[in-house]
Structure formats: structure tokens, C-alpha cells
Copies of this chain bind each other. A is one copy, B any other.
Amino acid sequence: MDYKSAGVDIEHGNKVKSNIQNIAKRSIRPEVLGKIGGFGGLFKLDTSKYKNPVLVSSTDGVGSKLKLAFEYDGHNSVAQDLVNHCVNDIIVTGAEPLFFLDYIGMNKLDENIFNQLIEGFSDACAANNCALIGGETAQLPDLYKENEYDLSGTIVGVVEQDKILDGSTVVEDDVIIGLYSSGLHTNGYTLAQKALSSQLIDRYINELTEIHISYYKPFNLCRNYIKAAAHITGGGLIDNIPRTLPPQYRAVINKSSWKKPNIFKQIQEAGNISDEEMYKVFNMGIGMTFIVSKDDADDCVDKLNTHCYESTIIGAIKTKNTDSVVLV
């Protein structure tokens, strides 16, 4: 008996993985020392840029959007989803992304799927000026079904301590700017896939596999205006905006202030889902919010829209009575 006959073909694995360095170098940054494949990834922190550097990290997955990647060969795009999701999770603290590591657990190391995934990770990392510095691919034939896999990603960024965005400067009548999402991003896919028939999934597959937007560039455009930012993930606007607010304030959101992508209406109708549930599960067309002062709001929206980051004012900050978010 040997490892190969037991289901783990190390030689094949090494051959497939030998391509990683070639692909990952698209995302390289000068701070990366050594090469991918050492025991640990090495990243030199530029201390001249930070007086009190705070490392900001986040781990995430892509949830059951994976099922669509399996069915529609969307491995590259689901890898980009993951990187962009992680980027959004740390930039809301004000952080600059530094490096990313991926985990792929799969049935067998399929060369086509693996290359698509690594290309997706690498291209999305490069687009966010973030180095793909390491990762792990595990072959687990007993755990995963054939041609299936799970993904997770971890990002590390850095922010100057006194620049951390914690919402502490938010005051009454500040304005909430909503940045449009490209669709569901990576949330609510279990419900969406239960609600939609396979014919409808097929019809709306382009909308359903739209890549999760990274808001790093629009964030940088408005960085000087932003008092708080929220990544609208699971829990929607209702759960995520309050995470960035001082406890004495609530967000008043005007539901009719932005255009909802058609896919949400399709899901709601097909699944006979209540309005309330839709707003709790999905981003409903807004992937990130910035809170800015009333005086800066128009400038900020103009700047975003001039650079093709579709956005609009969707609400304002008010003193709290009971709820921390009100949808009107």
C-alpha cells in the first residue's frame, strides 16, 4: 500500500502546485521576502510609514455561492469574491491591505479548478495591491464530494493607530452614503438557491455569479471624508451599519433612495419572502456604506460617481430611541 493508492497523489499534487509561484507573482509587492513555498510567508513591514502600526486581519469564506461555481465552472470568479470580501472587511477600519493567504480543501487536486482558483486569488490580490503570500491546499477525498471544495481566505492589513475608523466622530445628521453592490456578493446564497428554480438559476446565472465588488479604490477616493464605513454582508444593512455607530445613534435609511437590482425581486417573488427577511439576509443593492458629515456628502458622492463607483445618499444619523436602524 502507498499514499497514492490511499487517495493522495503527492507527485501529481506537487506538479500541479509547481505553477503557483508563476501565477502568484502577479500580486507580488516589494515587501515580500523569499518565495511562496517556504514554511511561512515573509512580509517586511515598512515602519517608516507608520508610527503606531496596528495589524488588521480577517478570515472569511464564500458560503454556498460555491455551489454555483461548481455547476457553472466559476472557480476564478469565486476566488476573486473571497479576496474582495476580505479586503472590504479590513478597509472599513481604515486599513491598507498587505497580504492574503488562501485555503482550499478539495476532493482531489483537479488541475483546471486549482489553476482557476489561484488565478482568481492572484488577480484579485493584484487589483487590491495585496500580496498572495501563502496558502494551503488539502486533498480530502473522504470529506468532499468529487469536483467540490471549500475555500477560506485570510487577509492582513495595517492602519496607523490614531487613524482607526471606529465611528467615534459620528454625530447627529451625518449622512449615510450607499455604494451599489454588483448583486448578492457572497451572502444569502443558500436562501437564493432554495427560492429560485433551477430554470431561474440558469436564467439569472450571470447576475448570481457577479463578482463581489472590492471597495478599496472608492474608499481611498473618499478616505478623508469617511467617519465610519460598513461592509454590508450577512445581516444586511440592518445588522452591519450599527456595528460602526456609537451606541447613542441610529441609522435612518430611506428604502426608496436607491435602485434595487432585479435579481432581488426575482428571489423575493420566487421564494415568497417577506420584505423584512429580504433586508436581513441580502445587501439589497448596497455593498458598502460610508458615513460622512452633511457638508461633505455631495462632494463625496460626486467623486464616487465621476470615477464610476455608483453611489447615492441613502439615509442619515439620528439620535437613538429604540432601534439602531430604521428603514423608512
Binding site for B on A (CB under 8 A): 1-3, 5-8, 10, 33-34, 38-45, 47, 50, 52-61, 63-64, 66-67, 89-90, 92-93, 95, 98-99, 101-103, 105, 133-136, 138-144, 148, 150, 152, 154, 156-157, 161, 164, 166, 188, 190-191, 194-195, 230-231, 234-235, 243, 271-274, 277, 280-281
A179 to B: closest C-beta gap in Å? 15
**Is the pair B67, A142 in contact by a Cβ cutoff of 8 Å?**
yes
A246 to B: closest C-beta gap in Å? 14
22 contacts between A and B (CB under 8 A): A1-B194, A2-B274, A3-B281, A6-B190, A7-B190, A8-B191, A10-B235, A38-B243, A39-B90, A39-B243, A41-B58, A43-B55, A45-B55, A47-B47, A47-B50, A59-B136, A61-B103, A66-B143, A103-B103, A103-B152, A138-B150, A156-B156
Residue on B nearest A89 in the bound complex, by CB: B39
Question: In the docked arrangement, what's the CA distance between A161 and B54, Å?
Answer: 19
**Is the pair A59, B103 in contact by a Cβ cutoff of 8 Å?**
yes
**Is the pair B105, A150 in contact by a Cβ cutoff of 8 Å?**
yes
A89: which B residues are within 8 A, CB to CB? 39-40
User: Quick one: which of A7, A55, A66, A166 has the most chain B CB within 10 A?
Assistant: A55
Of B41, B191, B271, which one neighbours A57 at CB under 8 angstroms? B41
**Is the pair B134, A58 in contact by a Cβ cutoff of 8 Å?**
yes
Residue on B nearest A2 in the bound complex, by CB: B277
**Is the pair B231, A93 in contact by a Cβ cutoff of 8 Å?**
no
Question: In the docked arrangement, what's the CA distance between A152 and B101, Å?
Answer: 11
Question: In the docked arrangement, what's the CA distance between A8 and B54, Å?
Answer: 34
Question: In the docked arrangement, what's the CA distance between A67 and B142, Å?
Answer: 8
Residue on B nearest A148 in the bound complex, by CB: B143
Residue on B nearest A51 in the bound complex, by CB: B47
**Is the pair B63, A140 in contact by a Cβ cutoff of 8 Å?**
yes
**Is the pair B40, A58 in contact by a Cβ cutoff of 8 Å?**
yes
**Is the pair A93, B40 in contact by a Cβ cutoff of 8 Å?**
yes
**Is the pair A3, B277 in contact by a Cβ cutoff of 8 Å?**
yes
